[in-house]
Structure 1
């Protein structure tokens, strides 16, 4: 028993000695600092900017990630600077993607076609022929930084593209213009290189039926007069495009061209002048637009329905006008 107690006492003494020695030599214990000191002296401190995230703060998307992103976004929702002229199906399959796009200048309805993209209208027509139950959407950009114009520049540019498509024989009622307002980065010459894209959608038969029944709004134009004869100007060209589209959408449409004058001179003479101008506009619409002459009527109101005072030059200018009135037969 005495030997057992001696051995136990020796074991306990050495155990306490070992624990004391380990606590002195423990490197973790020696190097542990308070948390506040580590945070204040670390060279890896991350500063958090709580301001708004801008495009400049984001990592650029490159390689396959960029390709996947382009394929997932419809053309009228992207219009990225690096994209060319693109057309997609209702299932987002790409019909074509040109490196170049259709461009335009700021505050202008004219479109710019590069040589590479000139066949786009034939490719779209070929697709539409083989998919008669679909309609084409022309997605056309314009910017809030451009001059305010009615209709907006996006619609006017889309109309120019539509006219090119109609030359291929595409059905007018299956082409829809969709103006899209976006921030546009024009170059130093006021030019943007990629403002048009195309997408096909299932044919909206309800829209077609409604368009056929809806009459266009009456319109007033001020033609260019030289020696009391009408010369072709942009207003007249725009009118021709509008009348052609309206009559194509509604075969029962009747277009009335009404001539108005100021009150300078004889009332009977003014009636004849108004009739002459109305007939000249009618002749232009019929011959240039190849429209049914029986559906376009010319008549005169002379000086009888002035809209401004004839006592001022500006008032007389406003009274010398052509009115276009639509009705259905």
Structure 2
């Protein structure tokens, strides 16, 4: 009995000691855990500072993904030409500028060679055509044709002068909200797209060109004499240009064979020049769109041996073309 009592007391003492030791270890472990979590140890503090120092560098070098809205895209838009697949042929930092309620276009100096680049591409790719996209605003004055078309026609004329065939240029006015500058200017008005050549459209254009007009005006020694027939011709030509502003005119003077061929050539040229002057001054047609030439006596349509035949041969032809 005595031995049992001693053994039981020893067990109680060691149990108490064991419980105390376990409790002490738990408190020390919790203290270490707390120090690590709060960064009070030298190692934890250094790591936190390192992460803090690296964070701005990571943000600076890893810009977030941005999806351009139409406004952002427009803000970065210079004068651009793209293929139908979206490949960029060229991009200039500056675009062609327009003015509100005006058909005038302003081309920056460092953009002037755009026409040659487009011409070179079209020469190398004969099965393609060029689309001129021209923006205009619903806030602008109502015009017919609209300002988008009028401005694009100015660009088309420049492209034709650079050597691009008129039939391969398509005008596409695009009405869209425009935020004009304080001076009413806007410098993101144009873009170019290359697409497959529409042969049917080209054929329709050829069919739409008006037929040659033949007139028999009367002339004084120094001027063309006005007449109802001449005024009617003028009105018809003006209407043609209103519908097709990119057309050009060749005025051809013809004569009979009275006199020598050289004199008749000069007389026919004088007829053509007077008719050209009449169309420019009375019809307000751009003089650069009309040229005067002479065929003299070389293209007779009637017998010069009769007065009626000679009268028919003394004529003026007005020919329309896209070139």
Query: Normalising by structure 2, what TM-score?
Result: 0.49
Higher helix share: 2
Between Structure 1 and Structure 2, whose CA radius of gyration is higher? 2
